[in-house]
Each structure stands twice: as structure tokens, then as C-alpha cells.
Chains A and B, each alone.
Chain A
Amino acid sequence: MAVLVIAEHEHGTLKGATLNTVTAAAACGSDVHVLVAGHNASGAAQAAAKIAGVAKVLHADGASLTEQLAENVAAQVLALAKNYSHLLFPATAHGKNVAPRVAALLDVAQISDATKVISADTFERPIYAGNAIATVQSSDPIKVITVRTTGFDAAGSGGSAAVESIPAVDDSGQSSFVGREVTKSDRPELTAAKIIVSGGRAMGSSDKFNEVLTPLADKLGAALGASRAAVDAGYAPNDWQVGQTGKIVAPQLYVACGISGAIQHLAGMKDSKVIVAINKDPEAPIFSVADYGLEADLFTAVPELVKAL
């Protein structure tokens, strides 16, 4: 049976997390289909058809799917589910919102945050903030999985799958969309960035956070991240939080400034290729995962670094 990937998209553009999910799907079965459920999202459907390894794109277009409400998207997936052995969602805020709803309606368990596909029914996933890795086997007829995107490479391009239109579900009438406050930024998205500059409690204030870290992020073309302590203190917006319960990132370079390195933070960034830690506390746990540790006051070291780059 075929494997279905539920695409993540926005304003007609396919989001990168979909590509990693396709790679995970290809490890579960050879016949990979992608569902693009949205409104005026044909751009995303066309982009999905060009992903290498995708055999078919199902495109549901309807007003009920405009705002990606969980109730409607889950119903859309459910309408197709019986034809598939696996349903894979990226483990993004959207995927995490919808996938368990689908699993429960199918009366199957869900495997959250899969980081490795061992066989069609066996997967690896982190537990306890990544301090342990569980190998789990599902006995359910349909496997519902959310995919931790940092565990899989992005699928390439060069595919030419057919796009098939399918009817969109009706609106559930139970929920409605009110509004969205999107953080406006010219920077790369945190989960897709090649370089991330991240700040912790030691930044001291929102003004200092921006004043010190923005020039470094600009110079490196980096995304900005933060520890939970910095977010809780109001130095950085919520969606910048990297960690167990925030975003899981694995950039080429992660620069941690004034971050002590609580296990919950490490859980979100320890798969980064190269980690740099700048901290004046020689005992800070962040140094135990850093490839390069600089024991210094960040308020002098970071500006110096900007100048040296």
C-alpha cells in the first residue's frame, strides 16, 4: 500500500518541512503520495509534484481548508486514510495539531517525532527531552507518524508526479479562524536556517538582546533563536524558543550566547553540526556540547566577533 505525506504549505508555497517528511515516507514504502489540502494552494501542489520520489499529488481545494483548522484538515486526511499504510506529517506546530486527531479517529496509536525509520513498522524517537532514544514498533494497520525534520534529509527535486484534484471536506462548523500575528522578519526561518544565533538569560533585556545579537545574525545571514529563560523573561518572542518544548533545530552552525545549557535547551539544538558557546561561566553545561567554547563576556566578545567576520 502507498504512503501519504500531508504537506505543509502557506500562501501557495510548499514549506521545506514537507521535503524531509517525503524522505521519511520513502523509507516506509516505495509509493509516496502527497496531500495538499488548502485553498488557492495550487502552487504548493505543483511544487509537491516536482519532489523526487513522489508518485502522485492529491490536491483538495476548498474554503474549509483556507486556515488549516485542525478539525477540517483531519477530516480531509481521514477521507483518504483507508487507502494508505502510513500517514506522515512533519512534526511542526501544524502537523502536531492535526496528526493525533487523525490517529484517534482511526483508532490507532501515533508515533511522535520519529527520527529514524528502521522498517515499515519500527521507528526511533527521542523521549525525556532527547536523553533517551526509544525504538518502537507499531502493530496498528495504519501508522500515523510525525516526522522530526532534523532526522531526515530534504528530498530533492526532479519529480514529475500527476496532480489529482479531490473534493474538499465541508467545514466542521465547530471552530473558526480569528486572526494571525506573524512575526515579520527578513531572516531565514528558524527551523530551516543554516546558521542560528541564539541568546539566553544573560542578555539581560529585550533591547540588549537585539542590540548585541542582531548585528551578528545580520553578518552571518542567520536566524535568531532564544532559550526558554530568555523568552520567559520577555527578551525574545515565543516562536524563537529552541528546546524540548519549542523548536528543534539542527543548523550547520549554532552560536549560543549567554545560554547556560539546560537539558531542555540542549534537546532542541544538540544535533547542530557545529556548536559555538560564548559564556562567561566556565562551568556552564553548554560547554559540554560545544565544539568551540569561548569563555568571555558576551557583551564584549559578540561585538568583537561581528568586527572580525
Chain B
Amino acid sequence: MKVLVPVKRVVDYNVKVRVKSDGSGVDIANVKMSMNPFDEIAIEEAVRLKEKGIATEVIAVSCGVAQCQETLRTAMAIGADRAILVETTEELQPLAVAKLLKALFDKEQPGLVILGKQAIDDDCNQTGQMLAALAKLPQGTFASKLVIEGGFASVTREVDGGLETVKLKMPAIVTTDLRLNEPRYVTLPNIMKAKKKPLETLKPADLGVDVAPRIKTLKVGEPPKRGAGVKVPDVATLVAKLKNEAKVI
């Protein structure tokens, strides 16, 4: 069974982005970029399936600018066997990415696609579900546990109020939540090995997909700032403030 894992290049988790003064977006020039953390979990899960002998090949995919190659090399250093870059400088929205992935799904015929549940830049949380819809496949989103057995994927999902387990007929689409696994550290020998693994580059047109954005961003602004509060010296003052000033207790 092949496993397809889409990965996104995003502004690093630890970077606090700044809004551009002209309101056109956030400033990502010279900012550290990394693999979306949820996608790292997705790659790790796929590689573990291969190590258990369940998966035969792990294919990492990224859609975006040429620098996404670095993200794909990281995926291969974690253990993906090969990579595909769908290269474009156009802004890609989740629906467009889902369509590109659907085309690659048809081409590669994987038994499973594992994606991160959301990217930490646009916070959309859409691509996996959209791919599942377009490929007419079942979905197991926000997974904290994945078991593959007898042509079915059992997915334990993080839902409001607890956990839920669903059984999906494969091929299936799974999106990862934080507790699915803890991705391994990438070692230097594996980084070196990843450089020699195959990386194929395609254009959206090669896949016959129109990636034109449907949503226009009119403006990007700062969130409303909270006024600075006060430090209180002790518990008694805190209680008095909450009772008399804030009136919340």
C-alpha cells in the first residue's frame, strides 16, 4: 500500500508574524519557514506504517513555490521514499490544493492519504476534508490514533467532549491532530540520504487543474489590542478587584 502525505511550507511555529503597514498581508520576507507541524506528524505516521510493514511506499507532496523542495527534503529525511512538487507561484487556496491532490491521488492510487488537520498560517482546516469529498472517499479527521487492518482504517478522533472512533473503508483520508505521535528528530545521515531521493516537479497545468483563487483578501489588519492590565500584590486584592471592579464573581 502506498501512502500519500501532503506537506505545506509555512512560517515557523515560533515566529510571531507582523502585519504589513499597507494592510496587504503579513510580512514573511526573511522569516524562518518550516514544515507545518501537523504535516510533520502526518509524515511520521506514514513512516511508522512503513516500518511496521503496512505501507510499502511513502510519497510526500507539496504544492507551492520552488522552495517547497526544502520541505519535501525534510519529509524524505524523516523517511518518505520520494517526493512530488507541484510548483506554482500563484496563491493556492485549500480548494485548489485539494484538486491538485485529487489529480495526484488518481495518478498514484495510494491506499491512504494522511494530511495535517490544519496549516498554522491560514488556519483553514479544510484540505483533507475537501480531498475526501472530491475523491469520494471516507474521512477520519483530527486523528489521535490510527489502526490499519483488513482493508479498513480505524481512526480515533479528537472531538468536542472526548474521543470518537470511526471505521473507514480504504482507500481513506486521515487528518492528524497533535497527539497522534511525536515526530522523530531528523538526523544528519538521514538528511544526506534524503538529498539523493527522487523529487519530481510538476505544474498545475500538467495535472489539468485550474488553481485560480476564489476568495479575495481585501485587507489584513492587526487584531484589536488588549489594554495592559495591572499587577496585584496579593490574593485579597485580586478577589476585591474581581468583585468590585470587574464584577465577574
Contacts and interface: CB of A to CB of B under 8 A. Distances in A.
Given A96-B141, A308-B236, A275 B229 contact: yes
B133 A105 contact: yes
Given A128-B11, A274-B242, A70 B141 contact: yes
A132 B15 CA distance: 13
A165 interface: no
A62 interface: no
Contacts of B226: 270, 275, 289, 291
Most-contacted residue by chain A among B144, B163, B164, B179 (CB, 10 A): B164
Interface in A158-201: 172-183, 189, 191, 195
A154 interface: no
A60 B94 CA distance: 30
Chain B interface residue count: which class? 35 or more
Contact of A292 (B19, B141, B242): B242
Interface residues of A, number: 90
Interface of B is mostly: mixed
A17 to B, nearest CB: 9
B222 interface: yes
A214 interface: no
Nearest to B159: A93
Given A189-B161, A238-B163, A308 B179 contact: no
B122 A127 contact: yes
A205 interface: no
Interface of B: 11, 13, 16-17, 19, 26, 38, 93-95, 98, 117-118, 120-134, 137-142, 144, 154, 157-169, 177-179, 213-223, 226, 228-232, 234-236, 238-239, 241-242, 246, 248-249
Interface of A: 69-71, 74, 92-94, 96-105, 107-113, 122, 126-140, 172-183, 189, 191, 195, 220, 228, 231-232, 237-239, 241, 244-245, 247, 252-253, 263-264, 270, 273-276, 287-296, 301, 304-305, 308-309
